[in-house]
Amino acid sequence: MKQFLMIAMAAVVLTVGASTAQSQTAPKSVIHVVTVAWKPGTTPAQIKAALDGVQALPAKYPGITRVWTKSIKVQGGKANAFVMEFKDEAALAAYADSPAQKEWYKVYLDIRGESTTFDITN
């Protein structure tokens, strides 16, 4: 019986330790993943301007901490994908209709044919 209690206690300690470690390493940031197909006739220069605009967003909106714009593999009939990391869900929500988004949309919306968005967090 003593051995069973020792094993049970060890299991509880390991479970609590693993749970605590996960909560300490699981970020609260939100990853905003966008896959996009450009409108027919969109030029490489227009695409570059749109992706450069994504790269400039962290300097214009402090709630965006990082961006990725180099698509390595994109599926589903899309041409590009990019990612914005927001510091938390509140920063993502506040980004909608922000001056930074409106400015970038001047370059992006006219050439965007179709896009799919995924917002992911812990």
Of the pLDDT bands very low, low, confident and very high (cuts 50, 70, 90), residue 9 is low
Of the pLDDT bands very low, low, confident and very high (cuts 50, 70, 90), residue 24 is confident
Q: Would the CA dihedral through 101, 103, 105, 108 be positive or negative?
A: negative
Residue 104: partners with Cβ closer than 8 Å, 6 or more residues away: 53, 54, 56, 57, 60
**Domain 30-120: assigned CATH number:** 3.30.70.100
**Domain parsing of the chain, residue ranges:** 30-120
Q: What is the pLDDT of residues 62-87, one digit of tens each?
A: 999 999 999 999 999 999 999 999 99
Tokens encoding 52: 């450069």
pLDDT above 70 coverage of the chain, percent: 81
Of the pLDDT bands very low, low, confident and very high (cuts 50, 70, 90), residue 50 is very high
- pTM (2 d.p.): 0.78
